């Protein structure tokens, strides 16, 4: 396989983004754009990769703040689920509340993704899985060839996404985790939106939220 994944941890709340780069085609795909567009662009340039797409797991401000800078520099199309469009529009207000700083609106997505869709790029092919709960339009991107799921803020090492935000729902989130993520093979790497990477097997065996849900509801609700 000629692909490799680079993780950058950026911004005020240490959000991860991932660059899937292909040495054969010299192209790459970006999953989330948290902050510091210059560093993302520098990483692409250092590897000689041309960006094919900006894939957003969801539209919370800490995952999309650098979208404008990356888009303007590369003209790569932006992908997002339609149910998170209202959240994307609120990004400048949320940044002001968190940081006190002014921010231009994020660009509108070029493509709206849907559950079950297969996105094919020169660097890789990714399956879209709708994983709402943290946000209504949250999606996870599954790279089957690399045995990786980019889970955004749905599933973390030893934890799950927050559901104390407006339009979040814990029951919905846990349903997404069981139906869309834990149904993947156990050796798949979980590339999380915050913290360290993990595996499906590790979270199934030791994640306290998953174990509690399994004990109470048998993995369904």
The span from the CA of 33 to the CA of 31, in Å, is: 7
pLDDT of residue 220: 57
pLDDT tens over the chain, length 221 residues: 689 999 999 999 999 999 999 999 999 999 999 999 999 999 999 999 999 999 999 999 999 999 999 999 999 999 999 999 999 999 999 999 888 888 899 999 999 999 999 999 999 999 999 999 999 999 999 999 999 999 999 999 999 999 999 999 999 999 999 999 999 999 999 999 999 999 999 999 999 999 999 998 876 55
Dump the DSSP string for 136-194: TT-EEEEETTTTEEEEETSEETTEE----STT--HHHHHHHIIIIITTS-TT-EEEESS
pLDDT of residue 12: 93
Instruction: Decide if 29 contacts 123 (C-beta within 8 A).
Output: yes
Whether the full predicted model's pTM is greater than 0.85, yes or no, is yes
Every domain of the chain and the residues it spans:
3-217
CATH fold of 3-217 reads Metallo-beta-lactamase; Chain A (3.60.15)
pLDDT of residue 2: 83
Two structure tokens written together for 142: 């599954």
């Amino acid at each position: 396989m000629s692909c490799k994944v680079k993780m950058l941890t950026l911004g005020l709340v240490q959000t991860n983004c991932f660059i899937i780069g292909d040495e054969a085609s010299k192209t790459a795909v970006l999953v989330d754009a948290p902050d510091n567009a210059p560093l993302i662009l520098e990483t692409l340039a250092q590897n000689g990769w041309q960006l094919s797409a900006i894939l957003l797991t969801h539209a919370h401000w800490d995952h999309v703040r650098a979208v404008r800078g990356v888009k303007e520099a590369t003209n790569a199309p932006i992908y997002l689920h339609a149910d998170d469009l209202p959240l994307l529009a609120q990004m400048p207000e949320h940044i002001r509340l968190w940081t006190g700083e002014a921010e231009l609106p994020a660009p509108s997505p070029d493509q709206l993704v849907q559950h079950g869709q297969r996105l094919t790029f020169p660097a890789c092919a990714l399956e879209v899985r709708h994983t709402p709960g943290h946000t209504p339009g949250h999606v996870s991107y599954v790279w089957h060839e690399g045995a990786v799921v980019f889970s955004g803020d749905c599933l973390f090492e030893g934890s799950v996404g927050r559901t104390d935000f407006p339009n979040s729902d814990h029951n919905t989130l846990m349903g997404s985790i069981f139906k869309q993520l834990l149904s993947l093979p156990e050796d798949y790497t979980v590339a999380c939106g915050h913290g360290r990477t993990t595996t499906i097997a590790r979270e199934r065996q030791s994640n306290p939220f998953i174990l509690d849900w399994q004990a109470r509801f048998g993995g369904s609700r």
